[in-house]
Structure 1
């Protein structure tokens, strides 16, 4: 294995993210058919508790490990990097075992004290406990490899983890359903454990494969004063705690939405049933599409953390600026056309994916969130790489306050309703992104490249015209929404790519960072005269 450029690393994580999402989508379809609404409800009662326990036990630690490991490697302190990994592994093994025990023992307590209203969910909660131990240890390995800027181990382990998890879930749910829904839901929950164990085995394989090279580097490293174990533990906790708080903020904000939005929709004049339906369109249909469209920017953020940390440790401000500029440009090249395309095709996409056009208005408004959420994710990665992990958390808290106020006011307006809640979510992303941008400019001196952004906007504008023309053309001839939507997306993608190439919005250097197919694309584009150096 060799060190990846941060662009290549982001691409590797993006491909893995899409594969994991596809496997997860298949899983949701099969599991819902096996368990039905009631069995799925039992599973869903257990899973948020598992995610909360996991967030407390390990969230933030991989980011902290990647920052410190990248710093050690920048100084050629290979022994120090290995020491950081061993300490973090010991810490996470201990916390993983503790939270596995607490969740298993606490499952009965949660049911007994009616925090979980349905006692049948006990089995699903208890079945998830072993997964915490494996996932917590696995996060230490992922942080270590990401700090070394090797994203392939993380990507492969994510795919294997998801695949084994889904196979185990479906198999056990199918085998146990004759015994009752509570046992089938528990079988589905238990799948997280074998999945995490399989992902861990993949990472252990990569670790042992990499050991001889790393041992040689340690033997030949220059004399470097070694940091004490206590100092490393202290730094891991200091860096990880804000990231953990940020991860906990996500379900907290989701629960705030649950408390505010349906109630304020009722205040706007909707019935309870109508409010629930509209809330489902926003949170269950529009928001997942936004998250899907920002997989690349999330991957860029993860890849940027060690890359920026390395350059910061070496005092190379120019390299930090270049990496930030490259990441922001790539993010804009993806998020701007995604926003335009989803805005124009919101209702057709809703009909194609969900079998209803009613989610279209929420999707159209939330499409703007793709652009600002992408900015937020990338700038968060930059600030974390600089060691300022607390700043994005404070910005998230401030932006969440804006979201609460806007949701309360706008959602209750009859003229807006659920659109008000969607605009409040966009404002949440935008405020967090703008605050992050301020601090990135303050610490890095970075300002957005407006020339490159305008090229992306021009290409996206022309793409939008092609999308509308092709959709209505195919729709008028076939009267088939899904076919027209897919054709419009395909035509739009081609037009956007061609315009970018003609205007120099994408260069040979950009494509060379794409794993495996980048060099082939360059050759093809040179042959047809579309590639500019």
Structure 2
């Protein structure tokens, strides 16, 4: 089994994340060109159901598997790893089959009554085969993460996107003459083929790398696996609950915002445009750096789990500090750029500057979100998934209270929703820090906090100075690129000067 250290594993995941995001962007362009707005509408109507099926069939097991496999691997307990895999596969396959049958039965009602467009029936029907495929893939992915081998899932992500794009181009053109509903269904089938090829690749790598035979005495492992099941569920269930809370919150948020704006006296069309500018323009830009912080979080779970199994308390603290430091470093430059160049970026990307003030208000606050990912992962790795779940629930409730209180006030309007989102992000991060302090006495040192403030301050000052030196105007995109290059180069120097990246960490990347 090829095992990577924390930094190597993170770098592999980051590179795969970058490539996947780029390919995903190409995928959206292809879908838009071959299906048109109405076809995309049918396709996107079916997507939330797909995501819900992912959540139900996986029930948070990838993280639980990653942690428990890492612990067993640290102790050299191969039988435990086999039991984890057999029980996890039994759960996910059973749930996926039940979900598939249930989905088949309720699709006609959802398509006709809830989504009010019977044509959605075909793309939703096409989703069903993906449920068991994604369920098995989740288990294999969690296994590789637990063994701290990030290459199989990283290659699988890239392969999946390439296959998906190729088959969307082929299948949509074949089925489009029969109607948009068939074209949307064909796009879903392309997703299934991509997932299936990705799964076959991971199964092939599992076959090559494995040290265990799953089919041998499988029922015996299931019968004696109550303790293992409880260990998996102690992480999986709170993680699933957090995701379900997030899904419900995402469902309620637009309702609360539009109703609050109506109380404040804003017309429906105006409220819709305001919410569209916030969620369609500002939020995607604020979430751009998260593929880096997510990669850090994924790599962090097995590393901390292994350290905890070996009772290496200092290593646990070091890994969390390292992940927080690197997450902040990746988010700080994005924060400065989005704050200083909000108008220019929005104009280049969307042809409007309507969301400019949203970015300037929210970007500094979202620095808390970038470090929240590794903190949440650390809590799950330390068997504190239930506490992480409650932190997220309380932060969400407070966010909604702030949202209603401010957005119903005409003086705040839609900016009340932006402030509420900032409050939710900041409180969630603070709650996680408090929980870590209570259980393992983890704190971010004052010196590191000072360095964080200094890094953001220096970068912001340099960016402001470059804008003045170049007399930057929005219509000069070449100037914008030059300023960004200079700013990024200087930012790298700041990172090394303030020791956000150390020489030892660079040596770790070269070590086998």
The TM-score, its normalising length taken from structure 1, stands at 0.90
- Give the 3 Å change call, closer, same or farther, for CA 503–229 of structure 1 in structure 2: closer
Q: Distance in 2 between matches of 1:433 and 1:29?
A: 35
Q: What pairs up with 1:306-455 in 2 under 5 angstroms?
A: 306-455=302-451
Q: Distance in 2 between matches of 1:57 and 1:173?
A: 28
Q: Distance in 2 between matches of 1:472 and 1:33?
A: 41
Equivalent position of 2:480 in the other structure: 485
Q: What pairs up with 1:284-295 in 2 under 5 angstroms?
A: 284-295=280-291
Q: Distance in 2 between matches of 1:28 and 1:452?
A: 40
- Give the 3 Å change call, closer, same or farther, for CA 55–495 of structure 1 in structure 2: same
Equivalent position of 2:244 in the other structure: 248
Q: Distance in 2 between matches of 1:226 and 1:175?
A: 46
C-alpha distance after superposition, 1:15-65 (max 9, x if no partner): 211211111111112212322222111111111011112101104111111
Partners of 1:127 and 1:186 within 8 A in 2: yes
Q: Distance in 1 between matches of 2:412 and 2:507?
A: 46
Equivalent position of 2:74 in the other structure: 74
Q: How many residues align?
A: 505
- Give the 3 Å change call, closer, same or farther, for CA 498–227 of structure 1 in structure 2: farther
Deviation at 1:472, TM superposition (A): 5.2
Equivalent position of 1:44 in the other structure: 44
Matched, 1:264 2:263: no
C-alpha distance after superposition, 1:136-189 (max 9, x if no partner): 110000000111111111111111122222322333222222211111111112
Equivalent position of 1:509 in the other structure: 504
Partners of 1:173 and 1:187 within 8 A in 2: yes
Secondary structure of the corresponding residue to residue 287 of structure 2: helix
Q: Distance in 1 between matches of 2:423 and 2:355?
A: 20
Deviation at 1:279, TM superposition (A): 0.7
Deviation at 1:245, TM superposition (A): 1.3
- Give the 3 Å change call, closer, same or farther, for CA 393–74 of structure 1 in structure 2: same
C-alpha distance after superposition, 1:411-445 (max 9, x if no partner): 22333222211111111111111111011112221
Matched, 1:496 2:495: no
Deviation at 1:408, TM superposition (A): 0.8
Partners of 2:300 and 2:378 within 8 A in 1: yes
Equivalent position of 1:529 in the other structure: none
Q: Distance in 2 between matches of 1:418 and 1:505?
A: 36
Equivalent position of 1:98 in the other structure: 98
Secondary structure of the corresponding residue to residue 83 of structure 1: helix
Partners of 1:471 and 1:487 within 8 A in 2: no
Q: Distance in 1 between matches of 2:106 and 2:273?
A: 33
Partners of 1:61 and 1:139 within 8 A in 2: yes
Deviation at 1:366, TM superposition (A): 2.4
Partners of 2:86 and 2:222 within 8 A in 1: no
Q: Distance in 2 between matches of 1:475 and 1:35?
A: 43
Q: Distance in 2 between matches of 1:62 and 1:292?
A: 23
Equivalent position of 1:524 in the other structure: none
Q: Distance in 1 between matches of 2:435 and 2:246?
A: 22
Equivalent position of 1:164 in the other structure: 163
Q: Distance in 1 between matches of 2:494 and 2:354?
A: 33
- Give the 3 Å change call, closer, same or farther, for CA 413–106 of structure 1 in structure 2: same
Partners of 1:368 and 1:426 within 8 A in 2: no
Partners of 2:82 and 2:212 within 8 A in 1: no
C-alpha distance after superposition, 1:503-525 (max 9, x if no partner): 444321233345x7x99xxxxxx
Deviation at 1:497, TM superposition (A): 1.2
Secondary structure of the corresponding residue to residue 506 of structure 1: coil
Partners of 2:30 and 2:165 within 8 A in 1: no
Partners of 1:467 and 1:491 within 8 A in 2: no
- Give the 3 Å change call, closer, same or farther, for CA 257–149 of structure 1 in structure 2: same
Q: Distance in 1 between matches of 2:303 and 2:499?
A: 26
- 2:296 aligned residue (294, 300, 304): 300
Secondary structure of the corresponding residue to residue 191 of structure 1: helix
Partners of 2:56 and 2:95 within 8 A in 1: no
Q: Distance in 2 between matches of 1:465 and 1:291?
A: 23
Matched, 1:136 2:149: no
RMSD of the TM alignment (CA)? 2.2
Equivalent position of 1:193 in the other structure: 192
Equivalent position of 1:238 in the other structure: 234
